[in-house]
Amino acid sequence: MNIDFIKLFNEIVRLAKPSIGKASFASSMEDKFKELDLDSLDHIMMMMYFGSIYEIEEEVLQQSKYETVGELQEFLEKNKTRDIESFEQAMEYAK
């Protein structure tokens, strides 16, 4: 992956949870979702965005199991059907 995944992750958090409230942004690949105060609805919204970006089928997204930002990236890399070359390209697909 050629893009800064933490930057992309944080932008998707911003989109999925516009009233950011108490959620925190990730600063490392080891950050755990639980510690970022992202709830199950946030996860669903985020996965919808990531599914659009990486062109991953909804059934596959529903099977995702991850606890850290790095594990999420590994899941996306393993299941993607579209390569992303830049942050800007990723955000175009997230619209």
Confidence of residue 55 (pLDDT cuts 50, 70, 90): very high
Q: Which two tokens stand for residue 32?
A: 């755990």
Q: What is the largest CA-CA distance in the chain?
A: 33
pLDDT for residue 2 is more than 90:
no
Please state at what angle helix 69-79 crosses helix 40-54, rounded to 10 degrees.
40
Selection from 12, 9, 94, 26 nearest residue 56 by Cα: 94
The stretch 62-76 carries a mean pLDDT of 92
Predicted local distance difference test score (pLDDT) of residue 33? 86
Of the chain, the percentage scoring pLDDT greater than 70 comes to 94
pLDDT tens by residue, 8-32 = 999 999 998 877 666 689 999 999 9
56 and 81 Cβ atoms separated by less than 8 Å? yes
pTM here?
Answer: 0.90
